[in-house]
Amino acid sequence: MKRKLFGTFFILFFLCIFLLYKPKENTPYFKVVEVSNNILCVDLNNNLKCDNDEKFRPLGVSFFSLDEPNLSCASNEFLKDLLLGKKVSFENSLNIFYEEHFKKTKIFFNGEDISLILLKNGFARQDTNFYFPNFNLKENYENIEKNREKFSKYDVRILNTKSKVYHTKECKYASLISNPILMLKENIPKDYKECSLCRVKNHSGRKPEKEVIESRKPDFSFGIFEVFFIDPNKYPYPSKNPRTNLAQALLYNIENSKSTIDFAILGFENQEEILRALINAKKRGVKVRAVVDSNPVSGDVYCHTYKIRENFDTRDDNSPSIMHNKFFIFDGQKVLTTSANISSTGVGGYNSNIGFIINSKVIASLYTKEFEQMFEGKFHLDKEKIFLENFTFQNNSLSVYFSPNSDILTPILNQIKSAKSEICVAAFYLTQRDILSELILAQKRGVRVYVIIDALGAWQFRERINPLRSANIKVKSENWGGKNHQKNILIDSCTLISGSANFSKNAVIKNDENVLIIKSCALGKKYREYFFKLYNSLDEKYLKLYPQAESLESGNSCYDGIDNDFDGKIDFEDLGCVK
């Protein structure tokens, strides 16, 4: 009897083992053969080389920008010590996000998510679009501060791989390099040369001009509108100070907000006083929320955008399309919307821009609806259509459209088609084919058409600009140094088209933008004065020529510390600045 029971138990025991046992899956492991710029080169094909398709970054974290090169370099050294020559594995369901120079995915070392290792040790920040269940945000912040102190004496250099020049971390040019490499000075390859201009503060030899901080008084007011014109001829260089009247008006409204501030901006750069005002508003109980642009391929447009994420409840679009708005909503009562970015060349003054403050609950409610969509994670074509047409006030009217779901192109084309005598266009980019065609048709039917086009926008797309000139349209390419960053069309001195949208295909069908069509002859008259002041400041030779955006003939573009033509070369690194 006992033998039977023992036999039965023995059979059941092994049957349970057989049913419950699952053979362990063979997880492939790959060797890390190189670590550079916080990018892991994982040898997938076992050829002991770093191939272009073998470059990865851990998913769910963001590394430090050029604003903190020591921390960025320290995180790279941490990864190198941790992983170089070791083997890593990937998540079974390989969730890959493709970027320009690498791929992002979940990577594991000894069974632990490398992203969590970085966060716990303070060598990265959490990407707000990802959630880690075991992540301690407070611990992350504390360890970042410890690392900031620990690695403060790192001797870091910033390499420009295009020009083979390296810069000091204090160099004003360093933050503007496209795809820079950060490296300890002792590790820099011998074929790189030291930048001879890094520590030169005033290349032009002239005395630095004393900055004048303007009052917040608008250039023009009418009805529910306050209007601000930024003249690039007033500002020879970019500024970290909010010196324009538009910037001062923004500060005033932030400082006097009572309950809420919602804002949607492309990014943030070198405007600390505005940032402090927003932080102080939050401290006194104002609810501050933000929406910013973030490209999964190239990251942030502006290097200090992370400060917005660190201090406020923020949503990123995380898309190849652009969240290109620049608007603020104060207490649900008024809107500030502008073509100027919150940067040293935008509200700091250097580029030509205009801005509006609209004192209207109706318009504030409209912008709030658009903001709420984006704050809930609906960007670009995922949004619902929101627009308002022919909102009347004191014998004037306003129409507002939000692209890409609202049709911004048809209203613009209709206004151009309605022109009887004159069209004035001030544009950063002027490439949308239907708009170009309608401008040519307007010129042919006897309408006088004048255009101010940005130097870079003109040169890059001269095949679009040349037909305008061939049609006898007076197109002047600017040579100010700063950008012609406007997005404006004035029709017959009484209808102004403005907003954040460039006159391009992407603005119409992809990007998040806001466009205003304002019918007011009083405003039209003032804008026309501003337009021709700028137009007449440009030499007549630029009706035919294309000045280079970064060259000795374009204002202070060779002395401003800006990569004006986006080629990775700044000031005298650029051939246009060599005599």
DSSP 3-66: HHHHHHHHHHHHHHHHHH--PPP----EEEEEEETTEEEE-TTSSSS--GGGEEEETTEE---T
Report yes or no: 171 and 199 within 8 Å, Cβ to Cβ.
yes
Nearest to 481 by CA among 231, 271, 199: 231
First-residue to last-residue Cα distance in the chain: 107
Report yes or no: 173 and 167 within 8 Å, Cβ to Cβ.
yes
Phi, psi of 253 (to 5 degrees): -70, -35
Residue 559 burial (CB < 10 Å; 0-12/13-18/19+)?
A: buried
Report yes or no: 488 and 426 within 8 Å, Cβ to Cβ.
yes
Helix (H, G, I), strand (E, B) or coil at 346: coil
Report yes or no: 49 and 43 within 8 Å, Cβ to Cβ.
yes
Q: Are strands 193-194 and 165-168 parallel, antiparallel or unpaired?
A: parallel
Residue 288 and residue 211: Cα distance in Å, rounded?
30
- Ordered structural domains, the chain, with CATH: 30-150 (2.40.50.90), 220-543 (3.30.870.10)
pLDDT at 23: 45
Report which DSSP code applies to 503: B
pLDDT at 421: 98
Residue the block writes with tokens 């933050």 = 175
Residue 318 and residue 299: Cα distance in Å, rounded?
8
**What is the longest distance spanned by two Cα atoms in the chain?**
114
Residue 276 and residue 136: Cα distance in Å, rounded?
26
Phi, psi of 490 (to 5 degrees): -105, 125
199: how many CB neighbours lie within 10 A of its CB? 11
Residue 410 and residue 431: Cα distance in Å, rounded?
16
Element (H, E) at 287: strand 287-292
Report yes or no: 426 and 534 within 8 Å, Cβ to Cβ.
yes
pLDDT average per 10 residues of sequence, the chain (579 residues) = 55 53 65 91 91 89 80 90 93 70 88 91 83 81 89 84 78 68 85 70 50 92 97 93 97 98 96 96 97 86 89 94 97 98 95 98 98 97 96 96 97 98 98 98 98 96 96 97 96 98 97 98 98 97 95 90 84 83
